[in-house]
Amino acid sequence: MGLKHVIYSSNFQDGLGQTDLQSILEKSRLNNQKNGLTGLLVYADGLFIQILEGESHRVDTTLRAIIQDYRHWNIHVLLNESIEKRSFPDWTMGFVQEDIHHLRDLLALEGTFDSQALNSRLTMMNDFPPLFIEYFTNKLRAGSNLG
């Protein structure tokens, strides 16, 4: 089976807190390790952007489970493509909590956005910025929350 990565965005269900976020992260790391997946979860004020990478069928199965998870809503698959090598080979799920305004700037978007508006705006992007992955790869290597 070939490798692929999926990048999706979603909003965190209203009323859920830091404990729920930590639970998602811990469960993701366990499941990803079991399924041979790696990736990155970026969280910014109620917005998730996640990169999942691994064997194609395992990424697809995990994405279907995420879509069924009540804690995520307004899910948009931004990129779904074959890859030659992993961007995050050492992290079952790297995690970065980011300021939403900084995230907007990284994605080269203009205007003022809350997490829902930014999530909707992401679906209108023609190309996902390659520097986005590079930025977070470097940030994780510099010592953020590795998984």
Residue ranges of the chain with pLDDT lower than 50? 146-147
Q: What is the C-alpha to C-alpha distance for residues 88 and 137, in angstroms, rounded to an integer?
A: 7
Give the model's pLDDT for residue 5: 92
Give the model's pLDDT for residue 3: 96
Give the model's pLDDT for residue 64: 93
Give the model's pLDDT for residue 2: 94
